[in-house]
Amino acid sequence: MQDDRPGPNRSTRLGLPLLAALALAPLGCKGSSAPALAKGEPTEEPPPDVPSPPADGPKLIVLQSGTIVYDRPSTKGRPLGELRAGAAIARSSDAFTRRECPGGWYVVRPRGFVCAGEAATTDPSLAAALPSGPDLSRALPYRYGRARTEGVPVYTRLPMPAEQSTEEPDLKRYLTKRGSLDSEVLGAAANDVPLDPRGVPAGPPVLMPGVDGADAVGKRTVGSFFAFPAPAVAPLAPLASRVADLKGGVLRKGSGVALAGSFVASVAPNPGEGRRFGVTPSGQVVPIDRLKPALGTTWHGLDVEKVGLPVAFVHKGGVTAWNLKKGEAEPIEDEELERRTAVPLSGKFRTVNGVRFEQSREGYWLRAQDLVVIVRRTKFPDFAKGDQRWLDVSLANQTLTAYEGQKPVYATLISSGRDVLKEAAESASTARGTFRIRKKLVTAPLDSREVHGDFDVADAPWVMEFEPGYALTGTYWGDGLGEAQTFHAVALSPVDARRLFHWVGPELPEGWHGVTDAMGEGTTVVVRP
């Protein structure tokens, strides 16, 4: 392990981790759980009983994403969670031990040990040059972009103009063809949905001035979306312990990436001719003109804590509302419901001319064939007692209901494995059974099979793994909710995924990027037909 106090020469010559490193063990396929958060080797002795460092104490600065927090000062210990590049975590003043770690094992807040060295340092001067962290208060923790073209370069540092021309031989032609896309006006995004303190949607999306590039009147363009209030530092402090190539990887067309910030290349000493670059959470840079905004759907589920069940979701567009009079059904003029509209039901139904109708609580009727209905349960699992939190996932209906004991609190649509009810081990289906959330990650790479292998997904938000290779996850790249379209994952809208991420256990410690169920606090997940 190298010294944890890099000098100026070392900090300026080191490269960044390859993009491929970001995709280590992507979620969504059997046996692909991230090794960073896999269970450690069994140990007979309990971990040291040490006090948690105070929040205002000295900080450990994390240099590499995926830095592991162990339950004891040893890589053979049980992983408790992981930290992202740029995180500043309260630590003990002195190293607990230097065994296996010359830089020292430090106790971090609220629990666990981190080795200072290549992945983390006690030198606070590096913090300002590292990527900004995620915003956990919003539906999407980062702004996201998707590759406009095939082979978008991901640079390990700011490239000089000549280097850009070498790595992007079509650059001049591309920029001319691209024209004035920066002025293209964008619509509402997932982060425009207002959320109450519980994370429950509190109204329709509103483009607020200053939010994700919206101007004083709420107008947002492609150019303003990728411009951040505080420019990122360029060139960035390298995050790897080795010299890397200029180009750390490429993005296939459509591939998504999170951005922690952006900057316009300065004229000197690193001329970039005014080109804007985005900064990934790992500290790599991507030319913004090669990306298109990924806004995330504004659609979300329904808070049913007060209204209860049953509730329905309209599963196609242009559905007619009806009045039932004297045994006949009459369409209500100018009363059509959009696809996925949530409709609380009264529980009453009638059959008219062989067609079943469900009554909304507002009094109008809808054909049952136009709806996906989440019914009121009459039987519950044995563990559904008191305020015990659990998730009920129906693959046949493509729905998810969150419960506290026997009380439903949230209902929404999902997108699960596209083979629906086939055997999960042999098909693109989500595993059925009763599980527990075994780890949570603010963001994680996703197996490309979750999107038919068409592109790559870095930094999928709000990942909640309940079985190796199977997870609930938010999306920023598509909107197939209500239809089985994934490989093994249970996809959710950004708003719904964030709501559930903060609601289910285990609780994510402040400043951490991921947490395991080492304390036995994982929420139960029931996946059924």
Using CA atoms, how far residue 262 sits from 95, 192, 266, in Å, is 36, 21, 12
> CA-CA distance, 415 to 502, in Å (whole number)?
20
Q: pLDDT at position 353, please?
A: 95
Q: Which of 21-35, 260-274, 427-441 has the lowest mean pLDDT?
A: 21-35
Q: pLDDT at position 27, please?
A: 55
φ/ψ of residue 102, rounded to 5: -55, -30
Q: pLDDT at position 41, please?
A: 52
Q: pLDDT at position 458, please?
A: 92
> CA-CA distance, 94 to 106, in Å (whole number)?
7
Q: pLDDT at position 152, please?
A: 97
Instruction: Provide the pLDDT confidence category of residue 334 given band limits of 50, 70 and 90.
Output: confident
**pTM more than 0.85:** yes
The structural domains of the chain, ordered by start, are: 8-129 (no CATH), 143-294 (no CATH), 310-374 (2.30.30.40), 389-528 (2.40.440.10)
Q: Beginning with the edge strand found earlier in the chain, give each strand of the sheet holding 285-287 in spatial order.
A: 247-251, 152-155, 285-287, 276-279, 261-264
Judged against a pLDDT cut of 70, whether residue 204 lies above it is answered with yes
pLDDT digits (tens, 9 = 90+) for 462-491: 999 999 999 999 999 988 999 999 999 999
Reply yes or no: is the peptide bond before residue 235 cis, omega within 30 of 0: yes
Judged against a pLDDT cut of 80, whether residue 396 lies above it is answered with yes
Tokens of 136: 């956990």
Judged against a pLDDT cut of 90, whether residue 126 lies above it is answered with no
Question: Mean pLDDT, to the nearest integer, of 308-334?
Answer: 94
In our burial notation (b when 16+ CB lie closer than 10 A, e otherwise), range 32-66 reads bbbebbeebeeeeeebeeeeebeeeeebbbbbbbb
Q: pLDDT at position 35, please?
A: 37
pLDDT > 70: percent of the chain:
88
Query: What value, to the nearest 5°, has the Cα angle with vertex 174 and ends 169 and 179?
Result: 155
Q: Which of 5-9, 40-44, 71-75, 341-345 has the lowest mean pLDDT?
A: 5-9
> CA-CA distance, 314 to 321, in Å (whole number)?
11
With tokens 């559930």, the residue in question is 500
- Give the up-direction half-sphere exposure of residue 283: CA atoms within 13 A in the CB hemisphere: 31
Pairing of strands 524-528, 389-394: parallel
> CA-CA distance, 394 to 52, in Å (whole number)?
41
| Span between the terminal Cα atoms of the chain, in Å | 50
Would you call 245 exposed, middle or buried from its count of C-beta atoms within 10 A (0-12, 13-18, 19+)? exposed
Instruction: Provide the pLDDT confidence category of residue 520 given band limits of 50, 70 and 90.
Output: very high
> CA-CA distance, 152 to 249, in Å (whole number)?
8
Judged against a pLDDT cut of 60, whether residue 241 lies above it is answered with no
Q: How many residues does the chain have?
A: 529
Q: What is the DSSP letter of 376?
A: P
Q: pLDDT at position 16, please?
A: 30
